[in-house]
């Protein structure tokens, strides 16, 4: 999960994504608030794309406890290094995601579009 905000800090916007542990590629992502409903949208997207997950590596956030089969879940920060590295790449290259910045999105559509285009170009485009 990576967060930023739209217009003001009272409107947080979270980026949720799933990374293939073997290839390191992002297989799905959604934007939304930090709620079970947003995480369920990500799960629905995986199901719709017929992407099966055999194991989840997560932190201790409660949506993972509420929404996932706990026998498939591993809570381990060290196994999340590659995902955290991608978060750093996003924060480094997209000013809207920097922790202390005056750059921010004024509309949710533009926020999601700019970040979504970057993800598609940087993580899915094989010609970089």
Q: How confident is the model at residue 128 (pLDDT cuts 50, 70, 90)?
A: very low
For position 36, what pLDDT does the model report? 92
Average pLDDT, whole number, for the chain?
A: 79
User: Would you give the end-to-end CA distance of the chain in angstroms?
Assistant: 24
Residues 6+ apart with CB under 8 A from 25: 19, 123, 124
Q: How confident is the model at residue 28 (pLDDT cuts 50, 70, 90)?
A: confident
Dihedral, CA atoms, 92, 61, 112, 55, nearest 10 degrees?
90
Check pLDDT > 70 for residue 44.
yes
Query: What is the CB-side half-sphere exposure of residue 33 using CA atoms within 13 A?
Result: 6
pLDDT tens readout for residues 62-115: 888 899 999 999 888 777 777 778 777 777 777 666 555 556 667 778 878 878
For position 40, what pLDDT does the model report? 95
Cα–Cα distance for residue pair 115/119, rounded to 1 Å? 6
């Amino acid at each position: 999960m990576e967060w930023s905000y739209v217009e003001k800090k009272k409107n947080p916007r979270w980026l949720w994504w799933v990374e293939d542990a073997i290839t390191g590629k992002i297989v799905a992502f959604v934007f939304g608030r930090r709620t079970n409903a947003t995480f369920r949208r990500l799960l629905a997207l995986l199901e719709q794309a017929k992407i099966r997950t055999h194991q989840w590596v997560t932190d201790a956030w409660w949506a993972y406890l509420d929404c996932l089969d706990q026998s498939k879940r591993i809570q381990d920060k060290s196994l999340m290094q590659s995902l955290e590295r991608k978060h750093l790449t996003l924060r480094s290259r997209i000013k809207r995601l920097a922790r202390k910045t005056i750059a921010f999105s004024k509309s949710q559509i533009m926020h999601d579009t700019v970040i979504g285009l970057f993800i598609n170009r940087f993580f899915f485009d094989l010609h970089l």
